[in-house]
Amino acid sequence: MAADERRRCGRPAAAALLAVLLTWPRSADPTDSDRRICVTEGCVMSAASVLANMDKTVRPCDDFYEFACGRFTRGARVDDDKTKRTTFNALNDAIADKVRRVLEQPEPGPGPGPRHPTLARRLYGMCMDERGLDELDAAPLLRLITAVGGWPVLDGGRWDGAGFRWTDRVYRFRELGLNVDYLLDVSVAVNHNDTTEHVVELDRPTLGINPVYLKRGLSDKMVDSYYRYMVDVAVALGAQKPRAVRELRQSLDLEVLLARMSQMQSADGLADFTVLTVSELTARRPGVPWREYINRLMCPDSGRSGDAACVRDGQRVMVNVPGYLSGLGPVLRATDRRVQANYMVWRAVASCIALTAGRLRARQQVAYGEMLGPLTREPRWAECVEFVSSKLHLAVGAMYLKRYPSERVKTAAVQMINSVRQEIYVALKNSGTNDRCFLLSASCGSSASTAAIGWIRRRKKNALDKAKAIEEFVAYPDELLDAEKVDGYYAPLRFENDSDYFGSVLRLAKFVCDKNFEKLHVPVNKSDWTTHGRVTVVNALYNLVENSIQIPAGILQGMFFSDDRPGYMNYGGAGYVIGHEMTHAFDNQGRLYDRAGNVRDWWRPETSGRFAERARCMVRQYGGFGGAGDGGARVNGLNTLGENIADNGGVALAYSAYRRDRRRRREPRLPGLHEYTGRQMFWISAANVWCSVYRADALRHAALTGRHPPGRYRVIGAFQNQRHFAADFRCPVGSFMNPADKCRVW
């Protein structure tokens, strides 16, 4: 059954449940607002979802995740084209349906109109033309291989490596719109030491599969699947199999070395970085002609290193991975040119297989299935919607907002953000008085000296200043409502031929790369609307160097938010997300950045030590989750530390904001859930955010490589540490959900 058919099949059952809920008895006394039953559409839909997920046979204090999500985990089916089923991807599917309707809407009649909708609809139409892609088969890919100078594994003895330089191959990739990050990622970014300035950024490469697996070599089954995929693609394009087996094994060995180097980290587990000028970089790492290399990437059309738009010797370069960079030169010098070329062209070929159809695309799907579980391809329309939404996100966002206005939601979300932010102020102002063990307070159980108290006050002021300075970008930037501005952004982009999907995508990729590189000599604008316009994304983020949070319109709906339901549902959903992102400003990475987003150590060694001690508690707690019951997958407490700190702080902030907000108004209860108080419903709503089911391989993959624990442990871990949760459900001390020893960082 197709995924879109499955979505329709669930609606009659939901309608029947809603009919039952609408007939639920209401309070006879309308003045008793705590006992009134809310029957707005938002309340009824929310109640239906919560009841469908809950298992009331489980006691909340025994396992709150099973209580809130037990029926979901046992009854939800992971679609054949998915690796998991979560609240997030259910909402993402709903938004994809909306975007599909926008993209498939006929163009307006003759006459002038905005250009960006035409661009988006043309790209979507090209993507949907599977018959045309089938007829072309691998021809566009073979032409690309010729254009980049050939692929040794295909060319055999005809390939001449005498004049090969890996830098020249990267320059050619840049001209054609291919990625340039297969050996070293080069981009324009904000200087972490001075966030008013753009710099050249050098970072670790993007590899074919996750380096956690790659570094193990062929002994890992995922690496073995990846290698067989490489060989099969080369053979399908005309390589002799014995040659492909031999030469691509050497190519894989190079990629394994790159993976091992890319995993180098500093002792605290955070990425190291240094800022140098181009001339300093050249002196320290002379193996690469850095000025030429950066210039050829940043301004390929000028070809003049002295051009004002290009890079000079004094240009600052932020090296995010000094260890990787120091190892890259020796590795490449020791690697045969043929091996280098085979690796680089393989990566270019692999990145373009999704733009083809037929046998290569089928082999790609087999590889994905072997690595992440038995998956089928998602419906073509869903694939094309996702692609167009990600590559032309401003155009799609503007079109989406025109059809689905979000102004009311934006206003309500801003109010919620202000409420959550206020709780940070309260917590910081009260630290050291109400809670002497708070991180910025004096040492627990001892008196603070006058000097220490002065230091605490200064650091608390710094923390308050940072909290106050957090910028919020909510729902959408207003510029997306201005068609002329959106058209202006896309003015340089042209699609020449609607039958050339392959070429159109490469032109689009080059356009995106140009947009990034042209920022180099432009002052940083932290409020730039073009960087905050991903409207349909079902996610939120905190930006370290902007000291900002982004809460897109995509996540301000569904189980997360509705303006016609009680606050306990919204604070448990979107409020939790907002609190999570704000807490990132003070997590294991965020605490190293000041209010302006600059890296600055504003901590005393004593306080850093206290933070590390508390963080270790959380690492141990989450590291104990998982095991046999999860297919052997155990949570990595260190990798997930930042997200766990944010979950713990976020849910606490959202709860406090809800309690303060509730004092100003009393709220009705939900149909079918009238036995639960508003405070209890907050926790139930917050848990529902993480209801999830994973395929076994996907769960192991998430546990090994992810920065987030599986949903079950996001609920259990954060809620075990909340004394208000234990009080609201009257969990006895020592019960599973109310351990005597709790972890708290902030």
For residue 430, the tally of other CB atoms under 10 A from its CB is 12
CA distance 99 to 242: 47
Confidence class for position 693, pLDDT limits 50, 70, 90: very high
What pLDDT, on a 0 to 100 scale, did the predictor assign at position 601? 83
DSSP conformation letters of 559-591 = TS--TTS-HHHHIIIIIHHHHHHHHGGGSTTGG
For residue 157, the tally of other CB atoms under 10 A from its CB is 7
Half-sphere exposure of 76 (CA within 13 A, CB side): 24
Average pLDDT over residues 697-712: 90
Residue 81 annotated among the catalytic residues of the structure: no
Is the pLDDT reported for residue 145 higher than 60? yes
Is the pLDDT reported for residue 459 higher than 90? no
Active-site residue, selected from the candidate residues 479, 581, 667, 728: 581
Average pLDDT over residues 522-533: 96
Q: Which of 2-16, 185-199, 376-390 has the lowest mean pLDDT?
A: 2-16
Is the pLDDT reported for residue 213 higher than 60? yes
Residue 168 annotated among the catalytic residues of the structure: no
Confidence class for position 666, pLDDT limits 50, 70, 90: confident
- DSSP 8-state secondary structure symbol assigned to residue 187: E
Confidence class for position 450, pLDDT limits 50, 70, 90: low
Largest CA distance in the chain: 89
Cβ pair 577, 415 in contact under 8 A: no
Confidence class for position 19, pLDDT limits 50, 70, 90: very low
What pLDDT, on a 0 to 100 scale, did the predictor assign at position 305? 43
Question: How far is CA 647 from its chain centroid?
Answer: 15
Strands 471-475 and 316-319 turn out to be: unpaired
Average pLDDT over residues 293-298: 94
Average pLDDT over residues 428-457: 52
Provide the mean pLDDT of the chain: 89
CA distance 537 to 96: 10
Cβ pair 60, 687 in contact under 8 A: no
Task: Walk me through the domains of the chain, giving residue ranges and CATH numbers.
Answer: 150-372 (1.10.1380.10)
Contacts of 565 (CB under 8 A, 6+ apart): 38, 40, 42, 43, 46, 670
For residue 304, the tally of other CB atoms under 10 A from its CB is 11
What pLDDT, on a 0 to 100 scale, did the predictor assign at position 271? 54
Average pLDDT over residues 25-38: 52
Confidence class for position 77, pLDDT limits 50, 70, 90: confident
What pLDDT, on a 0 to 100 scale, did the predictor assign at position 306? 44
CA angle 227, 230, 236 (to 5 degrees): 140
What pLDDT, on a 0 to 100 scale, did the predictor assign at position 731? 98
Confidence class for position 582, pLDDT limits 50, 70, 90: very high
What pLDDT, on a 0 to 100 scale, did the predictor assign at position 632? 74
The amino acid that residue 613 corresponds to is: E
Strands 548-552 and 471-475 turn out to be: parallel
What pLDDT, on a 0 to 100 scale, did the predictor assign at position 663? 82
Output the CA torsion sign for 467, 469, 471, 472. positive
Confidence class for position 24, pLDDT limits 50, 70, 90: very low
What pLDDT, on a 0 to 100 scale, did the predictor assign at position 449? 53
Tokens of 600: 């600055």
- Angstrom CA distances, 260 to 220, 249, 332, 377, stand at 14, 17, 14, 31
Active-site residue, selected from the candidate residues 647, 661, 667, 697: 647
Confidence class for position 453, pLDDT limits 50, 70, 90: low
Is the pLDDT reported for residue 32 higher than 50? no
| pLDDT tens track for 356-393 | 988 999 999 999 989 887 778 899 999 999 999 999 99
- Angstrom CA distances, 365 to 85, 373, 383, stand at 19, 11, 13
CA distance 194 to 196: 6
Is the pLDDT reported for residue 628 higher than 90? no
Is the pLDDT reported for residue 456 higher than 70? no
CA angle 590, 594, 596 (to 5 degrees): 115
Is the pLDDT reported for residue 6 higher than 80? no
What pLDDT, on a 0 to 100 scale, did the predictor assign at position 431? 64
What pLDDT, on a 0 to 100 scale, did the predictor assign at position 224? 97
Confidence class for position 3, pLDDT limits 50, 70, 90: very low
User: Which candidate, 381, 346, 371, places its Cα nearest to that of 104?
Assistant: 381
User: Which candidate, 460, 434, 506, 557, places its Cα nearest to that of 123?
Assistant: 506
Cβ pair 208, 256 in contact under 8 A: no
Question: How far is CA 157 from its chain centroid?
Answer: 44
| pLDDT tens track for 45-75 | 999 999 999 999 999 999 999 999 999 999 8
Confidence class for position 14, pLDDT limits 50, 70, 90: very low
What pLDDT, on a 0 to 100 scale, did the predictor assign at position 430? 77
Total-model pTM = 0.91
Average pLDDT over residues 200-206: 96
